[in-house]
């Protein structure tokens, strides 16, 4: 299928699903779109078995989209930059300590807890997977997805400081999750005995520090360029060039796209480009990126729903998906509770907050995109299907019930 036709069909389907939700279903945008796309995908699977010609176009569309490359190499940079650019820098500075702890130690703990739970308890459900693949699965689903989180949290009743912690954590923990994923994937390829500590150290330096340095340097440069002109069209083009340039450089020099664009977005967003009281360029640029964020969000979540068509024999993996949902919720709760218990006084976060933060930790397209990059092994479909179940559950079930949980815990939330 021609690239333009794929893009056109995807935009048309996204517009149609968005209209159905806004006009008739009236759920929060992200949740409604994922729900419609999932129901349509299930219907297509049924129709495709009965009459393949009827579902031909949407089936072809879903199978012609390289979901992993589109999300990780194209959409991710724009979505993360938008979230970082529009995040309140002053609020983030106040909550930086819990944000850094949860986005680093929290992700590592969650990966380990999920991996060991799956390794030791899954055999009771006749699911057998080597420990290294269980940990690899954990690295995929432990980072909260900034796209899903921002889409749900901004419409929730979360207290401001908790919203900042959850949003900030989701921006930074993708970089940690990606590094963990790459390291564990390398171990599965070469074997635990053959992995070299020096290679791991170089990988971390390249992914993390080079990504942050590139983001800071180009973010500063772009901010200075945008501040030096009044033409809004030029300002928008500079911001687009910043995201695209960092994405290309990250691919060439193999550093972290998430960390680079988040650093650039936070830097550019926290320094106003307004030249005088009459110029409102910064506010206009924020609105532009909010619009980009909302449109790409819609397309991304339509793509997530349509990915169900590409999962072979998904009916065979519902047990894996169900226990994966339970294990990731346990891992998420413990990965928040353990570090915050030791630092409870300084962080001032109570156990009611932990419950809310656990439920607000949503997964999205990044988990599925990473799962799709896995090599063809006997465990690939188990991990991919489990990731899909976790993502759909987190967006639809957790997203729909988040406000109810906040209301129940409102007396105890600090």
Q: What mean pLDDT is reported for the chain?
A: 87
Q: Rounded to an integer, what distance in angstroms lies between the CA atom of residue 368 and that of residue 322?
A: 16
pLDDT in tens, 335-378: 999 888 776 655 555 777 888 899 999 998 889 999 989 988 88
Residue 274 vs residue 244, higher pLDDT: 244
How confident is the model at residue 189, as a pLDDT?
A: 81
Residue of 109, 177, 148 whose CA lies nearest to 360: 148
How confident is the model at residue 326, as a pLDDT?
A: 97
Q: Rounded to an integer, what distance in angstroms lies between the CA atom of residue 30 and that of residue 400?
A: 10
How confident is the model at residue 193, as a pLDDT?
A: 62
Measured torsion, CA atoms of residues 164, 299, 290, 266, in degrees rounded to the nearest 10 = 50
- CATH assignment at residue 336: 1.20.1530.20
Q: What confidence tier does 1 reach under pLDDT thresholds 50, 70, 90?
A: low
pLDDT in tens, 86-128: 988 888 888 888 899 999 999 999 999 999 999 999 999 989 9
Q: What confidence tier does 179 reach under pLDDT thresholds 50, 70, 90?
A: confident
Q: Which domain holds residue 376?
A: 3-411
Cβ-Cβ contacts under 8 Å for 343 (sequence gap 6 or more): 97, 101
Q: How many domains does the chain have?
A: 1
Q: Rounded to an integer, what distance in angstroms lies between the CA atom of residue 274 and that of residue 171?
A: 26
Q: Of all residues in the chain, what percent carry a pLDDT higher than 70? A: 92
Cβ-Cβ contacts under 8 Å for 10 (sequence gap 6 or more): 61, 65, 299, 302, 303
pLDDT in tens, 46-86: 877 777 766 676 677 777 888 888 888 889 899 999 999 99
DSSP secondary structure letter of residue 70: I
């Amino acid at each position: 299928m021609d690239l333009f036709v794929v893009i056109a069909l995807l935009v048309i389907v996204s517009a149609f699903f968005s209209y159905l939700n806004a006009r008739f279903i009236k759920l929060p945008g992200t949740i409604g779109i994922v729900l419609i796309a999932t129901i349509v995908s299930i219907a297509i699977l049924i129709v495709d078995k009965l009459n393949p010609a009827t579902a031909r176009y949407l089936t072809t569309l879903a199978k012609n989209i390289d979901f992993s490359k589109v999300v990780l190499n194209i959409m991710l940079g724009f979505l993360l930059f938008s979230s970082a650019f529009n995040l309140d820098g002053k609020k983030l500075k106040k909550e930086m300590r819990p944000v850094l702890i949860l986005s680093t130690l929290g992700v590592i703990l969650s990966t380990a807890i999920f991996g060991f739970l799956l390794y030791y308890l899954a055999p009771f459900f006749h699911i057998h997977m080597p420990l290294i693949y269980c940990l690899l699965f954990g690295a995929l689903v432990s980072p909260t997805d900034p796209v899903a989180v921002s889409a749900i949290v901004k419409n929730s009743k979360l207290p401001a400081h908790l919203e900042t912690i959850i949003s900030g954590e989701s921006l930074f923990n993708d970089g940690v999750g990606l590094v963990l994923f790459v390291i564990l994937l390398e171990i599965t390829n070469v074997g635990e005995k053959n992995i070299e500590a020096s290679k791991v150290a170089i990988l971390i330096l390249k992914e993390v520090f080079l990504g942050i340095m590139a983001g800071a340097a180009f973010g500063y440069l772009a901010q200075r360029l945008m501040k030096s002109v009044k033409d809004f069209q030029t300002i928008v083009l500079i911001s687009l060039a910043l995201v695209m340039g960092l994405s290309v450089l990250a691919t060439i020099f193999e550093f972290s796209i998430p960390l680079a664009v988040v650093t650039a977005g936070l830097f550019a967003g926290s320094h106003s480009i307004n030249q005088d009281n009459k110029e409102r360029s910064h506010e206009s640029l924020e609105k532009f990126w909010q619009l980009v964020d909302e449109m790409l969000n819609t397309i991304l979540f339509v793509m997530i729903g349509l990915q169900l068509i590409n999962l072979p024999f998904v009916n065979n993996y519902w047990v894996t998906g169900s226990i994966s949902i339970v294990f990731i919720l346990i891992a998420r709760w413990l990965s928040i509770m353990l570090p915050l218990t030791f630092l409870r006084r300084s962080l001032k976060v109570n156990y009611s907050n932990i419950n809310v933060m656990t439920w607000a930790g949503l997964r999205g397209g990044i988990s599925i995109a990473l799962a799709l990059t896995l090599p063809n092994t006997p465990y690939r479909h188990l991990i991919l299907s489990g990731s899909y179940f976790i993502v759909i559950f987190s967006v639809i079930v957790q997203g729909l019930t988040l406000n109810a949980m906040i209301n129940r815990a409102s007396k105890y939330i600090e």
